[in-house]
């Protein structure tokens, strides 16, 4: 069974009285173990698709099956729990909490889980070590480089041991070399832990690291390439 099966997704936003068709009948299957990219020009629907796959937004039409289960049937609270336990998010602007240290940022999603303080600390420290930042646990975000901040965000996305991490342009605010290093880390975590990564990008070099690329134009999938 695939991890995610998105069927005939459409999303219409209302902008005043104008309908904006952000996604048009998109079908997408994400298999377990995948490392895939969503490419496409600005406004093509990449963020909308990631947000729907991540159960942050609801489609206007169509459905998302996660491990065979239709997420539309979950209540608000069930959905929040479901996201907490199954999905990690990484954002282009890192979205770390400035007053918290790296380890406190990573620990943050675990506060909603039934874990002891000690278990939370241990898991957060392990997640930081898995991204090579074990020694910088007590630095605050403004004491870290952009690449290090994004690594903290990756650790935070992974700490709940999700099945999938969705990353919306994770390299957009990093210089080219740092962006590639962050992608290499994600690829390595995908191989080691089996966590699925789906990331959006404009950058052809970043795209070329994915094992499957789908291209969106005007809310439709126009091309799909798989690295053999
Ligand atoms: N909340 C909203 N209200 C109205 N229109 C929206 C809203 N969010 C997105 N859109 C529109 O939907 C379309 C798809 O937007 P989306 O953010 O998914 O594209 P994108 O490919 O991620 O773009 P970018 O690469 O610039 O981030 C765009 O035309 C955008 O203007």
Cβ 182 vs Cβ 174: under 8 Å: yes
- Give the integer Cα–Cα distance in Å for 159 and 154: 9
Is residue 67 one of the residues assigned to a domain?
A: no
What is residue 12's predicted lDDT score, i.e. its pLDDT?
98
Range with lowest mean pLDDT among 60-64, 154-158, 172-176:
172-176
Counted domains in the chain: 1
pLDDT at 155 exceeding the cut of 90: yes
Strand order through the sheet with 87-90: 87-90, 164-168, 196-201, 35-39, 212-217, 220-226
- Domain of 104, in residue numbers: 98-161
For a substitution probing ligand 1, which of 13, 219, 222 has the most ligand atoms within 8 Å of its CB?
Answer: 13
Contact residues of ligand 1, CB 6 A cut-off: 13, 15, 20, 22, 40, 42-48
Question: Which residue did the predictor score with more confidence, 228 or 49?
Answer: 49
What burial letters (b/e) apply to 105-121, b meaning 16+ CB within 10 Å? bbbbbbeeeeeeeeebb
Structure confidence at residue 32 as a pLDDT band (50, 70, 90): very high
What tokens does 206 get?
């970043």
Q: Of all protein residues, whose CA lies closest to atom 24 belonging to ligand 1?
A: 42
pLDDT given for residue 108 in this prediction: 96
Q: Ligand 1 centre from 47 Cα, in Å?
A: 7
Q: Specify if 156 maps to a domain.
A: yes
Q: Do the domain assignments include residue 134?
A: yes
- ipTM given for this complex: 0.96
Exposed e or buried b for every residue in 182-211, given b needs 16+ CB within 10 A?
A: bbebbeebbeeeebbbbbbbebeebbebbb
**Angle subtended by helix axes 146-158 and 117-130, to nearest 10:** 130
Residue nearest to atom 2 of ligand 1 (CA): 13
- Note the pLDDT of residue 115: 94
- Decide if pLDDT at 228 tops 80: no
175 belongs to a structural domain: no
In a domain, 127, yes or no: yes
Q: Please determine, for residue 49, whether its predicted confidence score (pLDDT) is greater than 90.
A: yes
pLDDT of residue 129: 94
Greater pLDDT, 228 or 38 = 38
Burial classification of residue 63, based on how many CB atoms lie within 10 Å of its CB (0-12 exposed, 13-18 middle, 19 or more buried) = middle
Q: Report the mean per-residue pLDDT for the chain.
A: 95
Where helices occur in the chain by DSSP H, the ranges are 46-53, 76-86, 102-107, 117-130, 146-158, 176-193, 204-207
User: Is residue 149 domain-resident?
Assistant: yes
In the chain, % of residues over pLDDT 70: 100
Q: What is the pLDDT of residue 205?
A: 85
Judge whether 194 lies within some domain: no
Digit-coded pLDDT (tens) for 54-110:
999 999 999 999 999 999 999 889 999 999 999 999 999 999 999 999 999 999 999
CA of residue 63 to ligand 1 center, whole Å: 20
216 Cα: distance to centroid of ligand 1 (angstroms) = 12
What's the confidence (pLDDT) of residue 223? 94
What is the pLDDT at residue 227? 81
Q: Which of 12, 15, 16, 45 is the pocket-test mutation for ligand 1 (most atoms within 8 Å of CB)?
A: 45
In a domain, 120, yes or no: yes
Q: Is the pTM of this model over 0.90?
A: yes
Q: Could you tell me the distance, in angstroms and rounded to a whole number, from the CA of residue 191 to the centre of ligand 1?
A: 32
Q: For 203-224, write each residue's pLDDT tens digit.
A: 888 899 999 999 999 999 999 9
Q: Is the pLDDT of residue 35 over 80?
A: yes
Q: Give 119's pLDDT tier (boundaries 50, 70, 90).
A: very high
């Amino acid at each position: 069974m695939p991890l995610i099966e998105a069927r005939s997704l459409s999303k219409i936003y209302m902008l005043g009285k104008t309908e904006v068709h952000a996604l048009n009948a998109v079908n997408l299957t994400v298999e377990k173990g995948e490392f895939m990219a969503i490419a496409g020009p600005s406004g093509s629907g990449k963020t909308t698709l990631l947000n729907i796959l991540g159960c942050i937004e609801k489609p206007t039409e169509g459905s998302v099956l996660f491990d065979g289960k239709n997420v539309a049937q979950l209540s608000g609270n069930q959905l929040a729990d479901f996201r907490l336990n199954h999905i990690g998010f990484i954002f282009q602007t890192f979205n770390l909490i400035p007053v918290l240290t790296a380890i406190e940022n990573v620990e943050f999603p675990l506060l909603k889980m039934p874990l002891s303080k000690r278990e939370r600390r241990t898991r957060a420290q392990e997640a930081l070590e898995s991204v090579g930042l074990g020694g910088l646990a007590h630095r605050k975000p403004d004491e870290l480089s952009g690449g290090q901040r994004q690594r903290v965000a990756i650790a935070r996305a992974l700490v709940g041991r999700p099945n999938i991490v969705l990353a919306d342009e994770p390299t957009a605010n990093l210089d080219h070399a740092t962006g590639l290093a962050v992608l290499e880390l994600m690829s390595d975590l995908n191989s080691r832990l089996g966590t699925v990564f789906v990331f959006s990008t404009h950058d052809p070099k970043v795209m070329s690291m994915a094992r499957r690329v789908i291209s969106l134009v005007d809310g439709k999938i126009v091309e799909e390439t798989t690295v053999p």
